[in-house]
Chain A
């Protein structure tokens, strides 16, 4: 029987890790990811799990150690946030190129400077081209579920691609809510065992990991990584369906909220979607056909699903919790690009909100809808919600 616990998002992720019971966890604490490492370290200290924990001296070493561990053939996890992710950046790419199915929760936090420990998505966006699967969670329950789903997905033979599970710093990681925890055995059976084909520790069949690729093979190996992400895209519906069987919770590329007949659509990632859903409800009460799309999957980007969901709507407003200096905001740019092939292109607008953890209020989220309804969207203008100008 699943258990309902009132816990933080960090604790929910730590419970998922406990149930996945990885062979090795190497991690370095950073606000607001720290409680994940602390909870898990306590599980290790109490003998709840027999995972070998490597308390490294930096995130760079965390990612380096998990590469060594996963290459050795061990199921391996770590977790980080913002500046920590930036420090491990070099090895984040290498982990993906070595096709190691590492799972890493990212507690989304603003990338300095100026230094700020609160939630935004600049860290997730910074590594969007690194070759990792990126799953996005609205709340603690989703962070828990997607951590388990990520493990199953990343380790599939045809995928073998590392995966990040994003949850918003403080709002999700430190906020207490009800989370349904599956039975340990159910999770254990779901994730199964990882059987790597070419582990480093197979001394009878020695393999060279991480050789030098010159101009004659590098391109081909990157092409193969692209195939891994394509296969992840194909495998996701199957893994989601399997997870629904054990949990009763349905996941998809996109979380479609009141979208059946929606004319005005907001696209937003992670925790702000909860506030946006509330705003959609308020608008619906007034008879306005508002809807919301929240991607559960950011990489591989569900372009086709966005096109299908948005083609023919009156207007789309895309919210980004980070900027791309000198360019369009990342999610906006991707959604806009997905609409290139639309038969009936909706009006579209870009809104940046909540940087450095700035609070997102329902009043703020009404603005994009109002501007859409007035026909005031400009596809070439980036607008800011809650900014003092």
Chain B
């Protein structure tokens, strides 16, 4: 086990939780799972996490003044700039440490949380800049595939046919037609970066990647598929069940790009058709009734199959070829 489970269990027992109960996220929301697992992994590894959050569900629901659910240092600045903000804090850490002005000698690790709106769309430049500059931080994207905090508007991460208020399914349209932006490839294409996908269905895979990301000297990025039960129109208990299906249908393959080297971290023995995943989520219901959506599903199936084949080839081709 890469993460020391004993330490994790002790932390839970001691209630020394970096991210506590009492926040106002919806029952069944997958975002707090991501936040809790990531910060507890950092603690278990002996790091002091300093957290940044982009404007979004996780931010508005955990820090309503004068309350906070964070027992570790936390900063929120705006929607599109958590990466730039945390890069400034990380620069301050280096400077103050170098100048002997830090009050603590505990090892600090910077973790930024952003939703898909703040990452794929409006915050992409800020994130790319911070990664390019090589700041030592871990960026965790909790991907719920839309602007869920403000009521389900379309993002660059929304899949085809997922009903969104700014690109709804209608009489003549099947909703959004574009596939999700491949955010991990985008970030993985930067230099000296560790980039990975993860899923709320597989906390151990996620925590192992958090550990890798934290230990990597430089920028790290993990995209976690984390459903919004409210706007995905799924039962509160079903988030991880759905993301498990996402992995099994190749919709959301679990892999990493470590300084250019591809590795698929979970290879399901048997794959299920993408349609099974789509049919399990309520937000596709309208599109599924649309006569033209059948073709979109076929295209999606082809897309995920081809992407998987490419991934296998990339894994083979990049073996041991660390760019740095």
Chain A nearest CB from B70 CB (Å) reads 5
Interface residues of A in 1-49 (CB under 8 A from B): 23-24, 26
Give the distance to chain B from A170, nearest Cβ to Cβ, in Å.
Answer: 28
Interchain CA distance A212-B98 in the complex, whole Å: 33
Q: Which of B68, B84, B88, B94 meets A208, CB within 8 Å?
A: B68
Query: From residue B25, how far is it (CB to closest CB) to chain A in Å?
Result: 13
B186 is an interface residue with CB less than 8 A from chain A? no
**A17 to B154 Cα, complex, angstroms:** 45
Closest chain-A Cβ to B60's Cβ sits at a distance in Å of: 5
- On whether the beta carbons of B59 and A56 are closer than 8 Å, the reply is no
Contact A203 B108 (CB under 8 A): yes
Is B89 a contact partner of A76 (Cβ separation < 8 A)?
no
Write the A58-75 contact mask toward B (1 if CB under 8 angstroms, else 0): 101100111111111110
Q: How many A-B residue pairs have CB under 8 A?
A: 171
Q: A57-B125, A68-B77, A206-B74 are in contact. Are A201 and B93 (CB under 8 A)?
A: yes
B80 within 8 A of A: yes
Within 8 A of B (CB), among A238-291: none
Q: How far is B85's CA from A348's CA once the two chains are assembled, in angstroms?
A: 46
Contact B92 A73 (CB under 8 A): yes
Residues of B within 8 A of A55 (CB): 133
Q: CB-CB < 8 A to B104: which residues of A?
A: 201-204
Min C-beta distance of B139 to chain A, whole Å: 14
Do A60 and B81 touch (CB < 8 A)? yes
CA distance A201 to B51 in the complex (A): 10
Q: Judge whether A113 is part of the interface by a CB distance below 8 angstroms.
A: no
Decide if B95 touches A51 in the complex (CB within 8 Å): yes
Q: What separation, in Å, do the CA atoms of A51 and B29 have in the docked complex?
A: 42
Whether A358 is near chain B, meaning CB under 8 Å from some CB there, is no
* Interface status of B103 (Cβ within 8 A of chain A): yes
Q: Smallest CB–CB gap between A42 and chain B, Å?
A: 18
Determine the chain A residues whose CB is within 8 A of the CB of B74 once the complex forms.
200, 206-209
A54 interfacial by beta-carbon distance below 8 Å: yes
A376 sits at the interface (CB 8 A): no
With A207-B73, A213-B65 in contact, is A68–B89 under 8 Å at CB? yes
| CB nearest to B128 among chain A residues | A57
- The answer to the question of A115 belonging to the interface, with a C-beta cut-off of 8 Å to chain B, is no
User: What is the minimal beta-carbon distance from B65 to any residue of chain A, in angstroms?
Assistant: 4
Within 8 A of B (CB), among A150-181: none
Does chain B have a CB within 8 A of A325? no
Q: Does the CB pair A201–B91 fall under 8 Å? A: no
A-side contacts of B70, CB under 8 Å: 206, 208
List residues of chain A with CB within 8 A of the CB of B102: 201
Q: Which secondary structure characterizes the binding site on chain B?
A: mixed
**In the complex, which residue of chain A has the Cβ closest to the Cβ of B132?**
A57
Question: A93: shortest Cβ distance to chain B, in Å?
Answer: 10
Q: How far is the CA of A50 from the CA of B133 in the complex (A)?
A: 18
Which residues of A are found within 8 Å of B60, using beta-carbon distances? 212
A56-B129 CB under 8 A given contacts A64-B78, A68-B84, A208-B68: yes
Task: Check if A201 sits within 8 Å of B50, measured CB to CB.
Answer: yes
Question: Please, which residue of chain A has its CB at the minimum distance from the CB of B79?
Answer: A90
Pick the contact of B98 from A50, A72, A201 — CB < 8 Å? A50
Answer whether A68 and B75 are a contact pair too, CB < 8 Å, given A23-B96, A50-B99. yes
| Beta-carbon nearest neighbor of A52 in chain B | B95
Chain B residues closer than 8 Å to A52, beta-carbon distance: 91-92, 94-95, 98
Which residues from 105 to 151 on chain B have a C-beta closer than 8 Å to any C-beta of chain A?
Answer: 106, 108, 125-126, 128-130, 132-133
Q: In angstroms, how far is the closest chain B Cβ from the Cβ of A44?
A: 11
CA gap between A102 and B48 in the complex, in Å: 26
Per-residue CB contact flags for chain B residues 47-69 toward chain A (1 = under 8 Å, else 0) read: 01010100000011001111010
Q: Does A372 contact B (CB under 8 A)?
A: no
Whether B92 and A24, one on each chain, are in contact in the complex, defined by CB atoms closer than 8 angstroms, is: yes
Tell me if B306 is interfacial: C-beta within 8 Å of chain A: no
Given contacts A91-B78, A212-B60, contact A74 B65 (CB under 8 A): no
Q: How far is the CB of B128 from chain A (nearest CB, A)?
A: 7
Min distance, Cβ B87 to any Cβ of chain A, angstroms: 5
Asked whether, in the complex, the Cβ of B81 is within 8 Å of the Cβ of A72, the reply is no
B106 to chain A, nearest CB (A): 6
Is the Cβ of B129 less than 8 Å from the Cβ of A61? yes
In contact, A54 and B88 (Cβ under 8 angstroms): yes
Query: CB distance B101 to A65 under 8 Å?
Result: no
Give Cα A242–Cα B130 distance, bound, in whole angstroms.
40
Cβ contact within 8 Å between A90 and B92: no
Question: A74 CA to B101 CA in the complex, in Å?
Answer: 9
CA distance A76 to B91 in the complex (A): 10
- B206 shortest CB reach to chain A, Å: 24
Q: Please, how many angstroms separate the alpha-carbon atoms of A210 and B77 in the complex?
A: 6
- Chain B residues closer than 8 Å to A206, beta-carbon distance: 70-74
Task: Decide: B92 and A23 in contact? CB cutoff 8 A.
Answer: yes
CB pair B73 A200 closer than 8 Å: yes
CA distance A73 to B99 in the complex (A): 13
Closest partner residue, chain B, to A53 (CB atom): B91
0/1 interface trace, chain B 39-50, chain A, CB 8 Å (1 if under): 000000000101
Cβ contact within 8 Å between A71 and B89: yes
Q: Indicate whether A24 sits within 8 Å of B95 (C-beta atoms), given known contacts A60-B80, A208-B74, A211-B68.
A: yes
From B63, B87, B106, A54 is in contact (CB under 8 Å) with B87
* Besides the known contacts A24-B91, A68-B90, 11 further A-B residue pairs in the complex with CB atoms under 8 A apart: A24-B92, A54-B87, A54-B88, A58-B126, A61-B125, A64-B126, A71-B89, A74-B95, A201-B104, A204-B103, A210-B77
List 17 A-B residue pairs with CB atoms under 8 Å apart, sorted by A's residue number. Answer: A50-B99, A52-B98, A57-B125, A64-B85, A68-B85, A68-B86, A68-B91, A70-B92, A73-B101, A74-B91, A74-B96, A76-B88, A201-B102, A202-B103, A207-B74, A208-B63, A212-B64
Name the 9 nearest CB pairs between A and B, nearest first: A68-B88, A65-B88, A57-B129, A72-B92, A74-B92, A64-B84, A64-B81, A61-B84, A69-B88
